[in-house]
């Protein structure tokens, strides 16, 4: 999988121009150390959400999840990005239209909640549609994947399903997830979610 993200951040809002890495609350200046510390902190915060699940209210809960996961690392945890992001030449949702996207995703969440809890196929389809739109939105400078996987996990939990889109012992699941999100392939995401819930 490619990891060629590009960011339009002329004012160095997120990146320290001297070190070239993300500004962080720990004043870490080495990218490998930051990755290690961030991973440990987020893992700890994920465990907290597993122990005490958050109730999804709407798209604002995605921001609450991100804030919780990254609160120890970034001052901008839980805040929408102010830079444009693209990957492999494809731009994520433009920041100027975020409010429209939030309303649309809230509609998708409302539709998901109307599905019968016994209709596993339709629940998977609705979760895949929400995931695809949240991924395209990409509202954060960093940590979008981790926040959106937790968001979808918590929505599935509302319907009584266990869903892990990033199991540590199953690389195949993560690769299907990445393929589905990168290619905006709702069918791939539906099949993956359907298999896992």
pLDDT in tens, 47-62: 999 999 999 999 999 9
Asked if 152 and 188 touch (Cβ cutoff 8 Å), the reply is no
pLDDT for 93-112, tens place per residue?
999 999 999 999 999 999 99
pLDDT value at residue 165? 93
> What's the pTM?
0.94
Q: What is the mean pLDDT of the chain?
A: 94
Q: For residues 23 and 134, what is the distance between their CA atoms, to the nearest angstrom?
A: 25
Phi, psi of 2 (to 5 degrees): -75, 150
Backbone phi and psi for residue 81, each to the nearest 5 degrees, phi listed first: -65, 150
Task: Go through the domains of the chain in sequence order and give each one's CATH number.
Answer: 5-196 (1.10.3290.10)
Who has greater pLDDT, 174 or 72?
72
Separation of alpha carbons 25 and 6, rounded Å:
23
Cα torsion for 76, 79, 84, 87, to the nearest 10°?
A: 80
C-alpha distances out from residue 177 to 32, 164, 181, Å: 25, 11, 6
């Amino acid at each position: 999988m490619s990891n060629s993200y590009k960011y339009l951040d002329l004012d160095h809002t997120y990146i320290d121009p001297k070190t070239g890495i993300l500004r962080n609350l720990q004043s870490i200046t080495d990218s490998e150390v930051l990755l290690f510390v961030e991973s440990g902190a987020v893992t700890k915060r994920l465990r907290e959400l597993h122990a005490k699940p958050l109730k999804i209210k709407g798209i604002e809960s995605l921001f609450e999840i991100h804030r919780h996961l990254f609160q120890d690392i970034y001052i901008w945890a839980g805040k929408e990005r102010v830079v444009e992001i693209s990957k492999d030449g494809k731009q994520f949702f433009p920041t100027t239209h975020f409010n429209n996207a939030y309303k649309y995703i809230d509609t998708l969440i409302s539709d998901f909640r109307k599905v019968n809890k016994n209709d596993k196929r339709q629940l998977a389809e609705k979760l895949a549609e929400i995931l695809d739109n949240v991924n395209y939105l990409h509202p954060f400078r960093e940590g979008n994947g981790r926040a959106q996987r937790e968001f979808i996990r918590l929505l599935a939990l509302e319907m009584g399903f266990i869903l892990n889109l990033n199991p540590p012992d199953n690389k195949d699941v993560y690769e299907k997830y990445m393929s589905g999100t990168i290619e905006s392939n709702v069918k791939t995401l539906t099949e993956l979610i359907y298999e896992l819930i």
